[in-house]
Structure 1
Amino acid sequence: MKSLISSQKRVGPLILALLSLGSVAVAPVPAWSQAGAGLVLTGSEGVPVLNYRLDFRGLESRLERYRLEIPPQNLAVAEVQISIPTTGTATFDGVIDPAEVRLEVEGSPVELRDVFWNPEFRSLEVVAAEPVASGQTLTVVMSNVRNPRAGIYRFEGRVLGTEANPIFRFVGNWLITISGRNER
């Protein structure tokens, strides 16, 4: 009888430890939908794949807010250009409202001189009122975007510096996934 009681005393903490480890293993982990580039199967041949976030789940034909991150540059940035080339069968047919585009530096809004969206060439130009100093993360925030059909869309990012002979410098691609309404 005495050995049965002492073995129960040893088994109790062991069961408690196993139950707590098991609950940690199955606990829900918060997920950041569209927080990054995700799994890239197409390869990018040395082209940087940039981080982005879609605030409202990225469903086709719905209004969305895109947050496109540009890593710190080694030059002051006067303008950001985003183009959406036609790739295969996925032609971006979404609608971008230039009045709802803003530029943020480390989370703070930047005053803009001009925002221009060319739907024919699927090109967005965001011009800062004053150049943004080098070494800071930029985020292009596009609100009230009407998502296109479901698919993966490549957005190409370029920045224009402030040097004597400025040229657009390629910074990378955002591979944006838009899901069908029944996929999520």
Structure 2
Amino acid sequence: MVQRFLPVLILLGCSFGLATPALVRAQANQGFTFTWGEGPSGRQQLQYHLDNGTPGFMGDRYWLRLGQQKVAINRINITYPDYYNGIIDPKGIEVRIGGDRGNRFFQFRRDPGTKIQLAEVSVDRDNRVIDIVPAEVIPAGTPVQVILNNVRNPNNGGMYYFNARIGSPGDIPLMRYVGTWILSIANN
């Protein structure tokens, strides 16, 4: 009986192995990341996803996950390095709350969450700062992600540290460091 089904099982196993690369999205990233010196520790690294991630690619999308925070959020501040020469479109910035990433293997099944209204969005290219103010305060414990649409990637590949800070409602408007996205843009 086993000998009868063995060729079928082998054939199914081989065909699944050949179909697997079609399910993997380009630049899903978060592969091996080595940090040293003043870089963020493993617990400070934030998760992200690039739709393309190719140098010079116009119209890329960055999914930058802040995750669940212990405090409410009324401002999101993202800084990026001076050697990042990509172009970020302020009109293409959105914030989503909730959602489910789904299974790590099947990335296409994730729920992107609900898009929220933003009161103010600014990109200061001189100081390399993206400042986002939601129309309403995001409650503590809510999964949050920032999506940068219509991004033109830098002309050269490399690793780029995007730092995240959040502001909480209260008397003292201090920005709190949340973590760093270590974006890897590489030649395919």
- Normalised by the length of structure 2, the TM-score is 0.79
- The 5 Å alignment of 1:81-160 reads 81-86=77-82, 91-106=83-98, 107-148=113-154, 149-160=156-167
Contact 2:97–2:143, Cα closer than 8 Å, also in 1:
yes
Q: How many residues align?
A: 168
CA distance in 2, matches of 1:68, 1:78: 17
SS of alignment partner, residue 35 of structure 1: coil
SS of alignment partner, residue 159 of structure 2: strand
The AA in structure 1 aligned to 2:57 is: R
Distance change >3 Å, CA 171–CA 34, structure 1 → 2:
farther
The AA in structure 2 aligned to 1:174 is: W
SS of alignment partner, residue 130 of structure 1: coil
- Aligned counterpart, 1:34: 27
Deviations 1:103-148 (A, max 9, x none): 1112111111111111111110001111111111111111111110
Contact 1:152–1:175, Cα closer than 8 Å, also in 2:
yes
The AA in structure 2 aligned to 1:61 is: G
Question: Which residues of structure 1 form unaligned runs of 5+?
Answer: 1-8
CA distance in 1, matches of 2:14, 2:89: 49
The AA in structure 2 aligned to 1:68 is: L
Contact 1:33–1:53, Cα closer than 8 Å, also in 2:
no
Aligned-residue Cα RMSD (Å) equals: 2.1
Does 2:60 correspond to 1:61? no
Deviation at 1:50, TM superposition (A): 1.0
CA distance in 2, matches of 1:110, 1:83: 21
Deviation at 1:171, TM superposition (A): 1.0
Deviation at 1:25, TM superposition (A): 4.9
- Aligned counterpart, 1:173: 180
CA distance in 2, matches of 1:170, 1:133: 17
CA distance in 1, matches of 2:10, 2:151: 49
Contact 1:47–1:173, Cα closer than 8 Å, also in 2:
no
Deviation at 1:159, TM superposition (A): 0.7
Deviation at 1:14, TM superposition (A): 4.0
